[in-house]
Amino acid sequence: PQITPDERYRELDSHAQNESEIQEDVPISRKIANFLKLAYNEIRENISIYLLIIVYLCVCVMNKLLAKRTLKKIGNYSFVTSETHNCICMVVFFALYFMFGRRVMSAKERHRNFGVQFLLISLLDACSVIIAFIGLTRTTGNIQSFVMQLSIPINMF
């Protein structure tokens, strides 16, 4: 099968006029300019996804901090409240992505499966809540920390 170049990077590929530019004698300023242009194009194409991820992480971290400070006397209630709020946030962000992501046709074509992937990752994160809750309530000491580590690969996925 023949490999077709990605449309987004066609302009960057056109910067290399001939074979000599690809070799080591290209000035460092040209390499930096090409890298910055590539980074700018990537960020411009996917800005909504990056903002969604940043907002989600900020909400999760701040919610955990606030829940720990205000509800720490009630035992595991702060943990349950925090994780429930995270699950609600995932559903809200999933809905926001579909509402605002459908306006741009090219982004919809490029990321047509992103919404389903985001929902599956959210469900995996909800599963990590169950794993972490069992780790906090049913185990102690080293076993507790080991069970808590099981949720890390799910969150990293």
- pLDDT at 146 exceeding the cut of 80: no
> What is the pLDDT at residue 26?
72
> What is the pLDDT at residue 71?
54
The pLDDT of 111-125, averaged and rounded, is 66
| 87 band by pLDDT with thresholds 50, 70 and 90 | low
pTM for this model (two decimals): 0.31
Higher pLDDT, 143 or 54: 54
Helices (H), the chain: 10-13, 19-22, 28-45, 47-71, 77-101, 105-110, 114-137, 141-149, 151-156
Please name the residues in contact with 111: beta carbons below 8 A apart, sequence gap of 6 or more.
46, 49, 101
For residue 17, which phi and psi values (nearest 5 degrees)?
A: -70, -45
